[in-house]
Structure 1
């Protein structure tokens, strides 16, 4: 999936559990320019629904996709404004 767009930054939140993946993602996305894509690497299975729900209810961000790997969940978030 990552080949579909240019990743501006990768955020590693492996080992963190709810709500930290969302908190750290929000902080990281705030520092990016509009149009930039943030890749988030997490080990918390709950991050799949947590980040989806956060992006759905947050203006200025778009969840482009999610991947479930062996032990790592990858999330791709674009800052839209």
Structure 2
């Protein structure tokens, strides 16, 4: 089954990885998704709070949500 822009966002678990791996893995995963698709990123890297929004801004993605979680953060990105 192929993913469409209206499919629910998948969750990409990047917990335990340190900078720059969350951003590098997010970039690679987003390249596989169609334009308009959404992806939740879950991370424990404290620098992700800075790195993920900056990555989205630089690459033209929309950061739809930025939530603090127990032990980390999660981000909803629209490609």
Stretches of structure 1 that go unaligned for 5 or more consecutive residues are: none
| Alignment partner, residue 44 of structure 1 | 45
Alignment of 1:1-80 (within 5 A): 7-59=8-60, 61-79=61-79
C-alpha RMSD of matched pairs (Å): 1.5
Deviation >6 Å, runs of 4+:
none
Give distance in 2, aligned partners of 1:9 and 1:55: 17
Aligned residues between the structures: 74
What is the deviation of 1:74?
Answer: 0.4
Over 3 Å counting, the alpha-carbon distance change for 1:73 and 1:7 in structure 2 is farther
